[in-house]
Chain A
Amino acid sequence: MRPLEDYLVIDFSQFLSGPSASLRLADLGARVIKIERQGVGDICRTLYTSNLVMNGESSVFHAINRNKESFEVDLKKEEDCEMVRELLKKADVMIHNFRPGVMDRLGFDYQSVSALNPTIIYGEISGYGNEGEWKNKPGQDLLLQSVTGLTSLTGNADSGPVAMGLSIVDMLAGAHLAQGLLACLYRKAIKNEGGLVQVSMMESAYDFQFETITSFMNDGGVLPERSLKNNANAYLGAPYGIYQTANGHIALAMGSIPALGSLLACEALLKYTDIKEAFDKRDEIKAILADHLISSDTEKWLSILEPADIWCADVLNWQKLIEHDGFKVLNMIQKVEMLDGYTYETTRCPIRIDGELLTSSKGSPKLGQDNQNIIKEFITLKAVTNA
């Protein structure tokens, strides 16, 4: 039995942030119904990456929306709104990520929905909150990375701003929304109460940076300074970083510099005996390490460092990773099937419950594919004819 079995989630959200939260709830056992705009659906369906089209839709849509159903409606039509209200009366959770004001206009704001269903848990994600001068700005991942200082942490000192190459803020906001919803579902299970969960991408971006921004707030506003080369964390000393070797790269985490010097037979490192120098002189130490590590293969360095308990690793691309037994043993890849028989591979939920992998063979839904079933199951004739 999955933890969220028997829970119904009605998800109006689009793109990544909200839908990543409902994907997690789906894998934990909930039934998730996407409410999608007639004729178009979740805009993510046509948001292609690298021009890859899979069964008529984008790869990212397929990744984010597997294990869900699709209910295609026109919220400008009263009878469709009435059907959605019928669904919401039976739902445990509702999610949206429209800009502030949109749901009020449609009549699906928290007040209206909780009047229909007092124990519903209502989750919403915004870019910058529902108030203030930025409330109507687009909540787009790269823009959030840019305005929250996040782009000053990755890359080297001379790289200029460097984005994290994934929609990380979207995913964080989705993860935080899922947490708030789960907390409220627990409260509902105990006390039969509804709740309102609100997350903004801006707050999520700062929560992600809580260590570095707290440092900034308490040391007189000193800005993060990335190392000149081989930076992996602006706040950490040498050797922390990735270095080129004769045949690839090696990652080095924390470690004493002179100890590294003697293990690697790199004499120039032996003089850095003061522990503070690892940070204060990191550029010079990293340069010495970089010059030295390029002289031999990754395997040679690993064979010296790993037995000495120095924290290091090979740097793999996906091909090498996927071939590795350390990856295979995780069973991270699952095959899913759409209603029309199209199959594709994707990753599974990263959480295991009671030793079980939370896999699901259900692929993403075609727009509106579940309308008939949903109407049959949830919508009473009365509701439709009254509309």
Chain B
Amino acid sequence: MNKPLEGILVLEFCQFLAGPSAGLKLADLGARVIKIERPNGGDACRQLSIKNLFVGDDSLLFHTINRNKDSYAADLKNPEDLAQLKKLISKADIMTHNFRPGVMEKIGLDYANVQQLNNKIIYGMVTGYGSEGPWKNKPGQDLLVQSVSGLAYLSGSDIDGPVPFGLSVSDIMCGNHLAQGLMAGLIKRAKTNKSVLVEVSLLESILDVQFEVLTTHLNDGGKLPERSLVKGSAHAYLSAPYGMYETLNGYLAMAMGNLENISALINCDISDLYFHPNDAFENRDQLILRLAETFKTHDTQYWLNLLESNGIWCAEVLDYQKATTLNAYKSLDIEQNLDLGKGKNIKTTVSPIKLDGSKLKSAKPAPKLGFNNREINQEFGIN
């Protein structure tokens, strides 16, 4: 198929998750992404495993984030390697890095210098907290960024204290924003024929994720979010019944809905708690507790049948085992196999973007460190 970024060459100096997840998005959209890695160890993510899962020498995590890419090993401190890299940079459309402020300046690959090598480059930078201010040298680590951003006061219930999101959400959203900025840069360059600088930071990205509730905070006299005190509530700013309820055999999720209808349908008396629509928020905790008593009396399927047939927005709460057996999961074709050769495969997810009617699949696994050096040297006339 005719992928939109075909012919685009990306050099990825990034490590870990934020930058490389942007590189993965560009790769799936058709770009050729070459990871520039230090000869000794490469991307530190190669050794960062979850649950100690490795495929060959590299962590499964590295494979997940870096499939569909090439690897070029080069030592930025070695003048010969640096000279070769500069040749490569002169041919690239995009380069990305997530070094701390000052590192690329020292090496001579900061934006100003790279523009001298290639005046049409799109130069993407990822930082933790921006390039200025008291936090600029702090480690750009996901949990820490979540923690300073106020995000930890949005999930769980107030009695839990701060509850972080259980995934690297700052990294992932920042990677999404970087990918957007880089492609906007390509569009700008198509008009101006000039280089473009794109900057994102984990902190700005996690603040953007909170844009709705932060806007509420900025305009409600500066009130802090008040999570419900009861288990299962799912959003500090939303009214009952929004949340998850235990049933006889599992959990049921209830989206926003008309409480009068719902309480009548499930035969739960809320007449002492609900007089006016605003009460759905004002008396949220008591309402959730009241509904919870009723939901406990039947199994999940009973409630789904009753509520869905009446147009009420609800769903069963599933774990990965059940979720991945859903027909919807299968019909969306969410999995793909990476071909490691010799009959070995890794199963992983596919790009979430469907283009011109086709899924953006690629069986190309993550590269071994320096796997493409020879081929790239030949192709770009390096050495």
Q: Which residues of A contact B (CB under 8 A)?
A: 1-4, 16, 24, 28, 47, 49-52, 54, 59-60, 62-64, 128-129, 131-134, 137-138, 140-143, 145-149, 151-156, 159-168, 171-173, 175-180, 182-187, 189-190, 193, 195-200, 202-204, 206-219, 221-224, 226, 231-236, 240-242, 244, 249, 251-254, 276, 279, 311-319, 321, 324-330, 332-333, 344-347, 349-355
A7–B355 alpha-carbon span in the complex (Å): 20
Complex Cα distance A333/B214, Å? 10
Q: In the complex, which residues of chain A have a beta carbon less than 8 angstroms from the beta carbon of B351?
A: 207
Q: Which of A138, A166, A196, A223 has the most CB of B within 10 A?
A: A166
- From B60, B231, B316, A146 is in contact (CB under 8 Å) with B316
Q: What are 5 A-B residue pairs whose CB atoms fall within 8 Å in the complex? A: A134-B326, A154-B155, A217-B324, A330-B201, A344-B219
Given that A16-B212, A165-B154, A347-B215 are contacting pairs, would A160 and B323 also be in contact in the complex, using a CB cutoff of 8 Å?
Answer: no
Residues of B within 8 A of A317 (CB): 150, 153, 224
Task: Give A79 to B145 CA distance when docked, in angstroms.
Answer: 51
CB within 8 Å of A: which B296-349 residues: 313-321, 323-324, 326-329, 331-332, 334-335, 346-349
Q: Which of B144, B183, B236, B246 contacts A165 (CB 8 A)?
A: B236
Residue of B nearest to A240 (CB): B143
Whole-angstrom CA separation of A165 from B244 in the bound complex: 12
Chain-A contact segment, one of B83-91, B185-193, B262-270: B185-193
Partner of A217, one of B51, B142, B347, B350: B347
For residue B279, which residue of chain A has the nearest CB? A51
Q: Report the minimal beta-carbon distance from B305 to chain A, rounded to whole angstroms.
A: 14
Determine whether the beta carbon of A311 is less than 8 Å from that of B166.
no
Residues of B within 8 A of A (CB): 2, 4-5, 17, 25, 29-30, 50-53, 55, 60-61, 63-65, 129-130, 132-135, 138-139, 141-156, 160-169, 172-174, 176-181, 183-188, 190-192, 196-201, 203-205, 207-220, 222-225, 227, 231-232, 234-238, 242-244, 246, 251, 253-256, 278, 281-282, 313-321, 323-324, 326-329, 331-332, 334-335, 346-357
Knowing A165-B154, A321-B149, A351-B200 are in contact, say whether A312-B144 is a contact too (CB < 8 A). Answer: yes
Which residues of chain A are near B320, meaning CB under 8 Å? 149, 152, 213, 216, 221, 223-224
Q: Would you call A3 and B187 a contact (CB within 8 A)?
A: yes
Q: Are B327 and A326 in contact, with the CB atoms below 8 A? A: no
With a CB–CB cut-off of 8 A, which chain A residues contact B204?
A: 330, 332, 350
Q: Flag if A153 contacts B198 (CB, 8 Å).
A: no
Check A152 against B255 for contact (C-beta < 8 Å).
no
**Chain B residues, Cβ within 8 Å of A3:** 184-185, 187-188, 196
Measured CB to CB, the closest approach of chain B to A319, in angstroms, equals 6
**In the bound complex, what is the Cα–Cα distance between A204 and B319 (angstroms)?**
17
A77 smallest CB distance to B (angstroms): 27
Taking the closest CB of chain A, its distance from the CB of B156, in whole angstroms, is 5
Nearest CB on B from A384, distance (A): 33
Chain A residues with CB below 8 A from B166, complex form: 153-155, 162, 164, 226, 231-234
Beta-carbon nearest neighbor of A175 in chain B: B176
Q: With a CB–CB cut-off of 8 A, which chain B residues contact A311? A: 139, 141, 144
Cβ contacts under 8 Å, B187 to chain A: 3-4, 182, 185-186, 189
Given the complex of chains A and B, what is the CA–CA distance between A195 and B3 in angstroms? 10
Do A214 and B347 touch across chains, with their CB atoms under 8 A apart? yes
Instruction: Check B357 against A179 for contact (C-beta < 8 Å).
Output: no
| B134 contacts A326, C-beta separation under 8 Å | yes
Contact status of A221 and B321, CB under 8 A, knowing A3-B184, A206-B352, A351-B200 = yes
A330–B219 touching, CB < 8 Å: no
Q: Whole-angstrom distance between the alpha carbons of A383 and B332 in the complex?
A: 40
Are B349 and A351 closer than 8 Å at their CB atoms?
no
> Complex formed: what's the CA distance from A141 to B281 in Å?
19
A333 x B218 contact (CB < 8 A): yes
**Are B314 and A143 in contact (CB-based, < 8 A)?**
yes
Select from chain B the residue with minimum beta-carbon distance to A195.
Answer: B356
Q: B281's contact among A24, A51, A325, A347, by CB below 8 Å, is which?
A: A51
Q: List the B residue with the shortest CB-CB distance to A121.
A: B4
User: In whole angstroms, how far apart are the Cα atoms of A128 and B316 in the complex?
Assistant: 15
Taking the closest CB of chain B, its distance from the CB of A135, in whole angstroms, is 8
Across-interface contacts of A344 in B (CB, < 8 A): 215, 218-219
Minimum CB–CB distance for B215 against chain A, Å = 4
**A-B complex: 8 closest residue pairs judged by Cβ atoms:** A329-B133, A153-B166, A165-B154, A132-B331, A49-B237, A326-B135, A63-B215, A163-B234
Q: From B174, which residue of chain A is reached at the shortest CB distance?
A: A350
Select which of A133, A207, A353 is within 8 A of B188 by beta carbon: A353
> A180 touching B237 by the CB < 8 A rule?
no
Provided the pairs A152-B319, A195-B4, A311-B139 are in contact, do residues A319 and B224 lie with their beta carbons within 8 angstroms?
yes
Q: Which residue of A lies closest to B190 (CB)?
A: A189
Q: Which of chain B's residues has its CB closest to A344's CB?
A: B219
B136 nearest CB across to chain A (Å) = 8
Chain A residue numbers with a CB within 8 Å of B143 are 232-233, 240-242, 251-253, 313
Q: Which residues on the A side are within 8 Å of B203 (C-beta)? A: 326-327, 330
Residues of chain A within 8 A of B205, CB atoms compared: 350
- B156 touches which one: A133, A138, A154 (CB < 8 A)? A154
Q: Are A217 and B348 interface neighbours, CB within 8 A?
A: yes
Q: How far is the CB of B93 from chain A (nearest CB, A)?
A: 10
Contact yes or no, B323 A149, CB < 8 A = yes
Q: Are A315 and B317 in contact (CB under 8 A)?
A: no
Contact A319 B222, beta carbon cutoff 8 Å: yes
Query: In the assembled complex, how far is the CB of residue B371 from the closest CB belonging to chain A, in whole angstroms?
Result: 21
Known contacts A132-B328, A151-B244; A198 and B354 CB within 8 A of each other: yes
A50–B237 touching, CB < 8 Å: yes
The chain A residue with its CB closest to the CB of B195 is A354
Partner of A202, one of B2, B161, B329, B346: B329
Closest to B24 in A: A210
The chain B residue with its CB closest to the CB of A174 is: B176
Partner of A313, one of B147, B155, B255: B147
Chain B, Cβ-Cβ closest to A50: B237
Q: With a CB–CB cut-off of 8 A, which chain B residues contact A160?
A: 231-232, 244, 246, 251
A129 nearest CB neighbor, chain B only: B332
Which residues does chain A contribute within 8 Å of B142, judged by CB atoms?
253
Residues of A near B135 (CB, < 8 A) are: 326
Is the beta-carbon distance between B353 and A345 smaller than 8 angstroms?
Answer: no
Name A206's contact: one of B147, B347, B349 (CB within 8 Å).
B349
Q: What is the distance, in angstroms, from A152's C-beta to the closest C-beta of chain B? A: 5
User: Given that A221-B321, A344-B219 are contacting pairs, would A233 and B167 also be in contact in the complex, using a CB cutoff of 8 Å?
Assistant: yes
Q: Are B315 and A175 in contact (CB under 8 A)?
A: no
Q: How far is the CB of B27 from chain A (nearest CB, A)?
A: 12
